[in-house]
Structure 1
């Protein structure tokens, strides 16, 4: 009786694992199919993370609308993607829309051109942004305004311009990309965060993380190494300790300047 019971339990376990494995396979296939032929708009597509995101989403089979200020750079990227091995018969040729996020008057016309490319937008990747390094006392308000215009108001305006079409179709995915330093206070990043790609993940690695997050439709993803990840938790759980460490770091960074 014990043998029969154990065999039955094992069969049920293996059967459950089989069902779970099948479920995971179907889920993976569904996530992979989600991006195939999806219309993906990427801002700031000509350099850094935006460029790598363009490569990643293009290889996944998405229909890309690449956005940026430099027409020549956008066309060069389009040619590069079209000539890539991933393009052999299974991808779509990217389209481009050039405009400046810092110009509020250009955003509505740009959104209209974006919608004309494929008739709709499935995924908007708000990637474009600028960085700045400096103390609060030395940073002019004009710098703060420009950073906010490009990094906040521009993406918000573009999102609002494309949102009605998503609501009408009852389908849409909006991705907001920012530095992990937006979650914590770092010395000398008064207006926005300095880019330290040499000390962190490469743009290609982060692009794959973005692609995976979109496929899985995750709500919030932190892509960072151990120390920045711990800093986020420390900022939340022990803010006094966190700010004490940051103050010490600020003093150390300022010393060479005053010596």
Structure 2
């Protein structure tokens, strides 16, 4: 693997800019560049990924245990099916457990006679409830077994709908796409350490290129920005990249845990209604260029199984690269957005995220030392 191409960074502010000036939004050039990048990816993603086989060939995964969120539809469904067929023990962490069980029956029937029965199980997880995330993590960690791969796949993009909040009080895009996966990743660290070398794979989006995170207004309620589903979605995906970058830095090499963000590319979906007219036109006129779910799952599968990933992540850490590993839809290393390189904001996102999900600021350090931590959203906290 080669390092991603160089990108300008906001980590070293010019001397003429006061250190305390707080960025309020993306600059026009950053915003335009982000949308041009998205248009370029839609037009050329199939060409850039033409070297990939479909489905992506996987190595034997008989000794791998993998938790996949949102695995009853789309990219997550394909990821779960293919990893199970490669021999992995797959845990479908989903809200709709009935749909997951029906899928497993279908997959087992299709696989009958082709090998051992697929090793898949279902556990309930509702990312719109941080208490559910805590319950899931406690149940899994109580097994005292290894976890080799966590794929934070589940996400929402509530097109054209008014702003909604979870019962925890957080904007739904921010909670489902960032806060809940962040909490899950931290709480499952004991199992990931037991599974070392292990991986956390965050299914991100090229839409993070037009995202901006205001850590003082994560819910987008202050009025400084008008909320749209596009603002909610892109901001949550950028926050995920920023959080991943700091988690990547805080995990020492001896922990053996790699943190990777991936872009599945532009996959067949209903999100187009909230995108600019030129992108909507592209969705209607050139469906050939849009990936199906199987094609969209390749970057997740690559990040979860490629043997060079741990070495690549460690190389980035050694080089003090400001962001975590980011794998593009063509299964090659790439750079996240310029804003994602802003380490100062990334550390603020880290601190604010831990505060919002109810974890102590030293949660990762304590878990790495084998200590227990408590979360304010844990069930035991509601018994007082």
State the TM-score, normalizing by the size of structure 1: 0.64
SS at match of 1:192: helix
How far, CA to CA, are the matches of 1:78 and 1:42 in structure 2? 14
Task: Specify which of 132, 138, 148 is matched with residue 122 of structure 1.
Answer: 148
- Within-5 A mapping of 1:81-120: 81-85=107-111, 88-90=114-116, 92-115=118-141, 119-120=145-146
Q: How far does residue 169 in structure 1 lie from its aligned partner after superposition?
A: 4.8
Query: What is the aligned partner in structure 1 of residue 374 from structure 2?
Result: none
Deviation by residue 1:204-252 (Cα, 9 ceiling, x = unmatched): 112133212322226321117xxxx9xx89x75xxxxxxxxxxxxxxxx
Match of 2:305 among 195, 211, 215: 215
Identify which range, 200-209 or 164-173, moves more after superposition. Answer: 164-173
Q: What stretches of structure 1 of length at least 5 have no aligned partner?
A: 1-28, 237-259
Q: How does 1:194-205 map to 2 (within 5 A)?
A: 197=268, 199=283, 200-205=290-295
How many residues align? The count is 195
Aligned to 2:86: 60
Decide which of 182, 188, 191 is 2:208's aligned counterpart.
Answer: 182
Q: Quick check: 1:140 aligned with 2:163? A: yes
TM-score by length of 2: 0.45
1:185 Cα deviation after fit? 5.3
Change (3 A) 1:49 1:119: same
Partner of 2:59: 32
Q: Which runs of 5+ in 2 are unaligned?
A: 1-56, 213-227, 235-265, 270-282, 284-289, 313-324, 339-384
Match of 1:23 in 2: none
Asked if the contact 2:66/2:89 (under 8 Å) is kept, the reply is yes
**Offset of 1:113 from its aligned partner?**
2.7
Deviation for aligned residue 1:182: 1.4
Distance 1:139 1:63 in 2: 39
Using the alignment, how far apart are the partners of 2:194 and 2:84 within structure 1?
Answer: 26
Do the aligned partners of residues 178 and 159 (structure 1) sit closer, same or farther apart at CA in structure 2, a change above 3 Å counting?
same
- Within 5 Å, give how 1:230-245 maps onto structure 2: none
Structure 2 residue 192 is matched with structure 1 residue 192:
no
**Which structure has more RCO (C-alpha within 8 Å, separation ≥ 6)?**
2
Which deviations, in whole Å up to 9, do the C-alpha atoms of 1:29-71 show, x marking residues without a partner? 9x824x3330010000111111111111112111000011112
**Rg: which structure is higher?**
1
* Structure 2 CA distance for partners of 1:116 and 1:203, relative to 1, 3 Å: farther
TM-aligned CA deviation for residue 115 of structure 1: 4.1
Compute the RMSD of aligned alpha carbons. Answer: 3.2
Give how far 1:91 is off. 5.2
State the Cα distance separating 1:122 from its structure 2 match: 0.6
1:72 lines up with 2:98 in the alignment: yes
Task: Kindly state the Cα deviation for residue 86 of structure 1 after the two structures are TM-superposed.
Answer: 7.4
**Matched residue of 2:83: which SS?**
helix
2:178 paired with 1:152: yes
